[in-house]
Structure formats: structure tokens, C-alpha cells
Structure 1
């Protein structure tokens, strides 16, 4: 083989190996132009152009036909890059204590379509997952979009490698339910194409926020959030979820923050899970939960609309102090460079950010010398978006192989 042919093949192989990293850069918004893509990949302009053209041919991104530049920018104009709005999607599903929902999610974390949520979760996981997958499959038929795979978010630690829901405390599923196997069977039986994945809902919310929301750019991102019931946590290190040796890391809901507090499902007492979740707030505010709306919505609405009520304000301060105590302990152990809060915790931060930050700073070793930014999660339905990220990952790893 002559030298020219060898050089051509080498360039082609280099370009193909850059497809995944290039797609991830566009997917996460870190390469808005071909010039930035060239710089981030460390390749020539010609290679970056070829990579972008290949991703466009696969229907994954869109390249502006004529170069342009932002107002006030310097240098040569560059072709703008964006995810394709007509491209394939992932089927995302979420189950929580107050119901379940299905959605289609495109690249860039963009929710394309959602099915009406159900407000009852039956005790049989196969029945629930069959219904939510069927709703997602109907969305795919209605839109006619190609599916790359499916992801499921559940309110439980998911043990690896089996994919079992180890402790679905707030839904009536048996401990150890093989949710990944059941979900994959439902996906296959419904005719949805692509692999199926399952993960803990707060883990997936953190992954989505790291790629598309308030956690973007953090190296050591701690996420703590209330679900519709209970509290969960997640840690993203250098872009990867830290799930421990068997998928069970960061069960932060079972940190003790009130030694004389309520009994917890885990056997302990005064855990974050029962001291700072929506039901704890409604109880502390002396409000009887209603059956017509989710506990998370009831608690959030009460905090936003009746904060001047003495009982509501006192309840908020009580939960903020306990949350701050838990966060301080996590800061001491994990030393994150950013904390993001979701669910009711996000609303508590919005209600009195200075109080929460002061508690964390006062009770943490590192908080006294350099405060850790505490920010609200910014994505709507971040667990759904995170579930889709699981299904998108094989495409981000190797677009040509995944879409063959």
C-alpha cells in the first residue's frame, strides 16, 4: 500500500474515532461552532469538518450551511452546530411514589413528547412497567421518530450488576424486584428498538444536570434531592456517576440529622429521608396532605404561596436547618466543588438561601475556609432526561456502531 493511501486511511480512522467525542461535545452544548469543535478535539479544521458532516449524515446534528459569528466576536466566522430536531430519540420512563410518566428525549436533553402521567403505582412492577413502556411506544408511533433505546428511573437503589431494585421503600414493590430484566422484557415485547437500561432516579437527575443543567462544568458534583417521598443523593466525578462497588453509593437519605426524630424505613431514626421530605414539611407545617395531588406538589405550592404563614415559615426553617446539617456532613466527607438541590430542597433553598448556606458553612470544615456553591437544579423532569442519557450513552460512545 502506498504512503498516500496509508495517510488517507489514518485520517479516516482518526475522524471515526472522534465521532463519539464530537457528538458528546455538541450534545452537552460545549461545541456550539465548528471552530470550537476543532479546538476541543485537537484536530485539524478539515477533520472537524468531516466529523461534523458525518454526524449530520447520521441525522444526529445540524450544521449551518453558511458560517456566522456571534455579535461582538473576533476572528473568522464559523459554522454553527446544533443537535438535529428531527433526529432519533430515546424512550425515557420514570416511576415514583405518586405515579409514573413516559417521554421521548432527543439529543441535548430536549424532551420531544410526553405521555399523560399516571397517578397510581400498582404493587406488581411488571404491570407498572408494561403500562409505562406501552405509553412510550405509543409516543413513538405517533411521532414516527427512530428510537435508540430506553431508560428507566426508579425511586430505589439499583444493585449492580443484577439491576434489582434493592429498597423501593416508597412504592409497594417487593425488595429485590428485577426491574432491569422486567423493563427490558417490556421494551422488547412492545417492539421498541434499542437496548434498555435502569438506574436510581436521583443518580439520573444528577447525570442530566451535569450534562445539561446546573451541574455543567463541575468536577465533583453533589446532588441531593427529595423525591415525591424520601430523599436521595448522587455524586458525579469527572463526568461519571459514582455508584460504588455495586451501585449502592450515596444513600444520603439515611444520614441522621435529628437523633430524637421520626422512625425511618431503614430502621434508624431522624434520617434526612423522613426529616426533610415533602411529607415531613407538610406535617411540620400542620397541613393534612390531600389525596388529589402529589405530596411534592402540595409541599412546593405551600412553601411558595404561604411562606408568610408562621407555621409554614417555622416548618421551612426547621427543614432547612436539618438539611444544612446533612449537607455539611457530606461536604466534610466528599469535598464537592458544587452542590445542587432538587425537589422540595430546591424550593427550600429559594425560600431562604442565606440560612441554608450559613448552616452548611458553620457545620462543615471546608465551608469555613471556602464556601461550596449551592445551586438549585434547573431542568424540568431531570430524572426522565437522565434516564434517556442511559439510552444515549452507547450512541455517544460509538455513533456508527450504535446506529448501524
Structure 2
């Protein structure tokens, strides 16, 4: 029995996801660019963009854009207004939540202090409530909700390990608890009946955001290292996909030892990158105390730019360089993106950081890896939005589900 030939509409539907990803990441700003990227005919590209537009996900400019060689082409953009997802991020000292559209855009963002009770159910309930308030106040249809966590998250079960900032028991079933809290929240009449949820490590999600929308674009092996409100995280993107290891626990760079006699780390060891290059480490090196009434990260970033703290900055930069060199020796990335406080340390002492990495790197100065600042604001939130959008980037027709 012969296999039936696939019709043009069937082929077009299999291209919906790849086409939406290209438009979502800005790689196909016109129908002509999409035609070339997908390697299809103009007619097929037109059919694909027409269906994505009918789904309410993109807009197609009715007037072709000129100015180049060849036939003018129609501009493509994510729909505005269009559907949205909810994204949230837990920090050591607060909660952030946002309504997010396609294209890496945060539409509305709120930052809240941690509740007095940070047990898993209460804290995740506060996150769900913050997202629900955003959803009820929007006219957009909410399709999903994802959360970035400042601790390792196992795959595929979604349990939190070593949630040191909140004293959660190791193995807390955070994915299930978060799904239950969202299911019990009032997201308003425009949300999906059953909103899909997801959780992941914040550094992994920040790397995803930078790779798709920021300083990591076009990198084949992208290493991201970041220090947020406390601690240090890292992530690796290889050929466009996060490398998370066998169970989601790869790239815990914060527990790489850079000074065996250094500061104690919450993990029980001493001198971890986590304890030597975060906000607390910078204040300790500068022999200053932060104002408890202000966000810690904002104060640390100001301190990194203070000329009177130059010695402290160099001390922390040297420790960061040691850690980066070790990671380069193991991972051989083609680009390193620094974010959070590390972005400010790079700006304060770019030559010193590069020199330390080059001196300790196996390839030395002849194999220097570019170290660049992150470009995506609130990258953890943007990455959480990417996670929430993922089912629809894989299958855009899933937006039709009730």
C-alpha cells in the first residue's frame, strides 16, 4: 500500500511552529526573510503567515516594504495586542511578576516584597496571586504561567533541591504545588480554562532569554554567569538548546571553589563562586553594610561603580575570573554573557577580568573567549515567559484550546 502524499496545507501546518519561532526571535522581519529561512516558496510562506495571523499570533503589514533589491516584501511582527502569558521570578528578597507577549516583551511588571511566611505553599500562593491580578487587569487572553526559581529544579518532575534562600525541604514538589496554586487562583474570564504551568531554574531561563533576544544571539555555545540578589547561577546553551544534564541539575557554577579558605557558602563549603562574587561578597570586601530598607542588588550595583570601592571590586573580579577560567577550560564556550551584579563588575574592570581569565585559561591569550554584558532587562522574567510560550512555539494551533 502506497503512502499518501502530503498536501500543501499539511506541510504548511508543520511549518507553523518554526515560522513563529523565527518571527518571535526577530530572525524573520519580513515574509521574504521567512521564505528564505524556511526554504519554501513565496506561496507557502504566504499561507503560513496567513494562518499565524488568523490565530492572532502575528500581524502582516498589508503594504510591502521596499528599499532593497528584488520584489518588496511584507513586514511581519508579533500581534499587538495579542495573547499573553504570565511570568514570575522568586528572588532572595522579593517576588517579580509580569504579563508577557511574544517577541520577548514584558507588557506589565510588578515587584513585591517576600511575604512573611515563605513556606512553599504560602510563597507560591503569593506568586499565583500576583499573576492573577495582572491577568484580571488585562484584556489579553492568558495562555500559560511559568516561574523562575533561584535554586536547582529537577527534570522532568520539577522538584526543588537546596532551596537555601527559603529553607524549603530538599525535594519540595514545587511544580505540583505551583500548578495547584495557579489552578485555585482567579485569572479572570479571558484566561484559558486550564492554564498550563511550568517551573525552572532562573539562570537557565536567563540564558534562554539572552540567546533568543539578547547578547547570546548567534552563539553556538553560550555560557551565562549571573549574580542576582544573592548567590551565583550559570547556564549553557548549545546549538539553541539549554544543556541541563541528565536531570536538570547541570551548570551549578555557583559551587565551583575559587578560594578554599574563603567565605562560607550556604552549601556548607568555603570559597564557592557563590559566596565570593555575589552582592554580600562585594559589600564584605568593601567593608560596608547595605541599607536593609533598599533592594540589595541595586545597592551592590551602585557600589561596583563607586571609585572608592575599586580595591573591593578588583578583589571580587579576580575571584570571578578564576571561576570563569575554570568553566572555559571545561566547557569551551564561544561566548560568555555576564548579567546581574557581574555585568557591573565587567563594566568596572573589563581588562582585569579578561586578563585573569586569559592567564588561567588553558588556551591563554591566543584563545580569549569574548566576555560580553547581558542585554535583556529582567532576563529571568523574560526567560520564564519563554518557558510559558514554549508549547505554543512548538504548536501554534494549541492557542485554539479552550
Partner residue in 1 for 2:302:
301
What is the distance in 1 between the residues matched to 2:322 and 2:235? Answer: 17
Task: Give the Å deviation of 1:159.
Answer: 1.3
Structure 1 contact 65–79 (Cα < 8 Å) conserved: yes
Higher helix share: 1
Structure 1 contact 87–146 (Cα < 8 Å) conserved: yes
Task: Give the Å deviation of 1:107.
Answer: 0.3
Partner residue in 1 for 2:384:
387
What is the distance in 2 between the residues matched to 1:149 and 1:367? Answer: 46
Number of matched pairs:
392
1:168-247 alignment runs, 5 A limit: 168-192=163-187, 193=192, 194-247=195-248
1:5-404 alignment runs, 5 A limit: 10-70=7-67, 73-120=68-115, 122-192=117-187, 193=192, 194-304=195-305, 306=306, 308-309=307-308, 312-404=309-401
RMSD (CA atoms):
1.4
Partner residue in 2 for 1:3:
none
Structure 1 counterpart SS, 2:112:
coil
What is the distance in 2 between the residues matched to 1:135 and 1:145? Answer: 16
Task: Give the Å deviation of 1:120.
Answer: 4.4
What is the distance in 2 between the residues matched to 1:240 and 1:207? Answer: 8
Structure 1 counterpart SS, 2:45:
helix
Q: Deviations over 1:34-91 (max 9, x none)?
A: 0000000011000001101111111111110010135xx3222110111112111111
Structure 2 counterpart SS, 1:165:
coil
Q: TM-score, normalised on structure 2?
A: 0.95
What is the distance in 2 between the residues matched to 1:342 and 1:183? Answer: 27
What is the distance in 1 between the residues matched to 2:57 and 2:21? Answer: 11
Unpaired runs of at least 5, structure 2: none
What is the distance in 2 between the residues matched to 1:76 and 1:293? Answer: 56
What is the distance in 2 between the residues matched to 1:268 and 1:230? Answer: 14
Structure 2 contact 115–126 (Cα < 8 Å) conserved: no
What is the distance in 2 between the residues matched to 1:56 and 1:106? Answer: 15
Unpaired runs of at least 5, structure 1: 1-5
Structure 1 counterpart SS, 2:262:
coil
Q: Deviations over 1:334-370 (max 9, x none)?
A: 0001100011100000111111111111110134322
Q: TM-score, normalised on structure 1?
A: 0.94
Bigger Cα displacement from structure 2, 132-141 vs 209-218: 132-141
What is the distance in 2 between the residues matched to 1:175 and 1:122? Answer: 18
What is the distance in 1 between the residues matched to 2:41 and 2:339? Answer: 41
Structure 2 counterpart SS, 1:159:
coil
Structure 1 counterpart SS, 2:56:
coil
Bigger Cα displacement from structure 2, 116-125 vs 346-355: 116-125
Task: Give the Å deviation of 1:402.
Answer: 4.3
What is the distance in 2 between the residues matched to 1:180 and 1:53? Answer: 36
Structure 2 counterpart SS, 1:158:
coil
Structure 2 counterpart SS, 1:108:
coil
What is the distance in 1 between the residues matched to 2:350 and 2:165? Answer: 29
Task: Give the Å deviation of 1:123.
Answer: 2.5
Structure 1 contact 98–121 (Cα < 8 Å) conserved: no
Structure 2 counterpart SS, 1:333:
helix
Task: Give the Å deviation of 1:263.
Answer: 1.7
Runs of at least 4 residues off by over 6 Å = none
Bigger Cα displacement from structure 2, 285-294 vs 217-226: 285-294
What is the distance in 1 between the residues matched to 2:164 and 2:282? Answer: 19
